[in-house]
Amino acid sequence: MKPLQPLGYQKTIDFYGCSTEKINSCNYVETKLLEAARLMQLTVVNATIHKFSPIGVSGVIVIKESHIAIHTWPEHHYVALDIFTCNSSYELEKGIVFLTQAFEAQKIEEKDIVRGDLNQVKNLNSSIYEN
C-alpha cells in the first residue's frame, strides 16, 4: 500500500472565554484575521465577513493557499476557526498566538486533519478514464 499523499491540511482551533465585544465586531474580526494571515505568510485573495442580527460573526478569508473560516458565538464567548492549506509548510502558530491574544481567549484547543489522498484520486481517475 502506498503512503498517504495528502491534498490538504486543515487545522481547527476552538477559542474559549473570548471577549464578547471583540468577537461580535465585523471590523475587528476582519482586521485581526487579515493580520494573522500576514503573520502566517499566507496570501490573501479576498475577504467576506458577515454580522448576524442580533449577534455573531461569520466569514471567510480566501487565501492563495486555500482559506481561513471563522464563526463566532459571542453569547458563549466562543470562536471556531478553520485554516485549510495546500501543504503543511506554513507557520500557522504565529497567527494562532496572535488571534488568541486578540480575542482574549482563555483557552484554545487545536486539531490537525489531513484531507484527501492523491493515491485515491489517481486510482479513481484511472478507473474512470479506462471505462
| Exposure of 40 in the CB half-sphere (CA atoms within 13 A) | 29
R_g over Cα of the chain: 17
86 flagged as catalytic: yes
Rounded CA-CA distance 38/116 in Å is: 26
Annotated active-site residue in 19, 58, 67, 86: 86
3-state SS assignment for residue 33: helix
Annotated active-site residue in 26, 66, 89, 126: 66
26 flagged as catalytic: no
Annotated active-site residue in 71, 77, 88, 127: 71
Rounded CA-CA distance 131/118 in Å is: 20
50 flagged as catalytic: no
Sheet holding 107-115, edge to edge: 44-51, 57-63, 66-73, 78-85, 8-16, 107-115
Cell numbers at residue 97, please?
498566538
Which residue numbers are catalytic?
66, 71, 86
